[in-house]
Amino acid sequence: MNKRLKVAVFHFGFFYSGGGEKLVLEEAMSFRKAGWKVDLFAPIVEKDKCFPDLIDKVNVAPIMPMLPSWFPRRDTIQVFMTCIFFPIFMPRYRHYDVVLGTNQPGIYFGFLLNKVYKIPYVAYVAQPLRLLHPRKVDEETGLYLRYRMKFTPFILKYFRDAIDFLDRQSLKNAGKILANGENSAEKIFRTYGIRASLCPAGAYPIKKVVPFSKRLKNPYILLTNRHFPQKRFEYAISALSLITKRHPDIKLVITGEKTTYTQFLEELVIQLSLRDMVVFKGFVSEKECRKLYENALVYVYTAPEEDFGMGVIEAMACGTPVVAWNNGGPKFILNGELKRYLARPFSVSDFAQKIINIIDGKSYRKISGQCWKLVKDKYCYSSHNGLIYEDLLSVSNKISRSGNDRQNAIDR
């Protein structure tokens, strides 16, 4: 019989409605349904900014008191201070059976709890620590939390070696390392020499796919992602200027909370005379976002070096064809005939042509069905949550059989 585990999940932050945050919330809800006690923790928690229609279904709390919102460079300093002072707060977590660390510094927190209280931990990794291993697009645009991390040069100047050591040690000592897809696994191996087990993100396949004829009644291309420069929304806007020459009625719908980057995009829309063709929806609820996925003609993913791309599988779960770059996470997701819709990096004209081919083609129903089936067979939440569930259980049992070390540590 599976024992009822007490699980502490440590994530980077809950202050934005992004794919990584949604994945963690879905995992927690799944484990709670299984009868486990699950609590989520992070350096930064702002429930009103992170899937407010989901987050109240689980227990989420900041690790240490939050700095006031007006504090200069609050987000970066909050994370940095939490990492430094975490040992002070560690006794709060000594009674958990197992820890799930989702990316850094969550894995580092699990590492410290393991060293002091012998609590086993599982590391879930989407990418190598970007502070030390930035992608090309990160070097071009800078690293972002909510705003650009201007405090980063100071951190790297004085703490690079210490951060690198703790990053590697926390991964090396994990009871299990899981990678968010094949692209992430390759990067982890190249960076750390560690082979991680595959555990790609999940989505919920729709029961009935909206037919092409109904989607044509209000034709639009959908783009959902964080409004950060690394996501390169300008590719989609530039592609739309080519697409509307053939399909003048089609629109581009963009969801997501506005940032300073949005201002640049709005100016680009005006420059390309697309003001009536681009709709910035702002933040939308999960229910509304799902409807947008269901009724879109095409979903586009413009991030050039994305580690995975949850929007890709969420769109395909609704039978919506996807166009993305033949690079990063999406190139590992789209397989078979669907690879035809991976555009040549980073040709806007080819990206636009892939979209036109889907809209013009006579095989829309076939493509739609292939998308839906791929998610059902390989990327559904039941598979994703099931893998992590079994690994948490396995790691906790392995430690519990090792004797009384953990109990002795708790009683200190």
Residue 368's φ and ψ, nearest 5 degrees, are -60, -45
Quick one: DSSP state of residue 91?
Answer: G
Rounded to whole angstroms, how far apart are CA atoms 326 and 348? 13
The pLDDT confidence band at residue 139, using thresholds 50, 70 and 90, is confident
The contacts of residue 379 (CB under 8 Å, 6+ apart) are: 200, 201, 202, 203, 313, 316, 317, 333
Mean pLDDT of 320-340: 97
The pLDDT confidence band at residue 156, using thresholds 50, 70 and 90, is confident
- Find the helix or strand (DSSP H, E) in which 287 lies: helix 286-295
The residue assigned the tokens 């350096």 is 43
The pLDDT confidence band at residue 210, using thresholds 50, 70 and 90, is very high
Mean pLDDT of 379-392: 96
Mean pLDDT of 184-198: 97
Q: Do 109 and 10 contact (CB within 8 A), yes or no?
A: yes
The pLDDT confidence band at residue 367, using thresholds 50, 70 and 90, is very high
The pLDDT confidence band at residue 392, using thresholds 50, 70 and 90, is very high
Q: Pick the range with the lowest mean pLDDT from 76-90, 154-168, 391-405.
A: 391-405
Q: Which of 115, 59, 102 is nearest to 409 (CA)?
A: 115
Q: What confidence score (pLDDT) does residue 409 get? A: 35
Q: Helix 182-192 crosses helix 152-172 at what angle (to 10 degrees)?
A: 100
Rounded to whole angstroms, how far apart are CA atoms 152 and 77? 10
Mean pLDDT of 146-155: 67
Mean pLDDT of 213-225: 96
Instruction: Tell me how many degrees the CA angle 134-137-141 measures, rounded to the nearest 5.
Output: 95
Ordered by where they begin, the domains of the chain are: 6-202+380-410 (3.40.50.2000), 212-378 (3.40.50.2000)
Instruction: Tell me how many degrees the CA angle 59-65-71 measures, rounded to the nearest 5.
Output: 125
The contacts of residue 353 (CB under 8 Å, 6+ apart) are: 343
pLDDT over 90 at 348, yes or no: yes
pLDDT over 90 at 397, yes or no: no
The pLDDT confidence band at residue 399, using thresholds 50, 70 and 90, is low
Rounded to whole angstroms, how far apart are CA atoms 286 and 224? 12
The proportion of the chain whose per-residue pLDDT surpasses 90, expressed as a percent, equals 84
Mean pLDDT of 346-371: 96
Rounded to whole angstroms, how far apart are CA atoms 301 and 230? 12
The pLDDT confidence band at residue 410, using thresholds 50, 70 and 90, is very low
pLDDT over 70 at 147, yes or no: no
Rounded to whole angstroms, how far apart are CA atoms 389 and 124? 12
Q: What confidence score (pLDDT) does residue 148 get? A: 57
Decide: helix, strand or coil at residue 31. helix
How many Cβ atoms are within 10 Å of 327's Cβ, its own excluded? 17
pLDDT over 50 at 407, yes or no: no
The pLDDT confidence band at residue 142, using thresholds 50, 70 and 90, is confident
Q: How far is CA 298 from CA 36, 113, 315, 322, in A?
A: 39, 45, 9, 6
Mean pLDDT of 230-246: 97
Mean pLDDT of 102-108: 97
Mean pLDDT of 144-167: 79
Mean pLDDT of 113-123: 97
pLDDT over 50 at 403, yes or no: no
Mean pLDDT of 143-161: 73
Average pLDDT, the chain: 92
Helix locations, 60-132, DSSP H: 74-89, 106-117
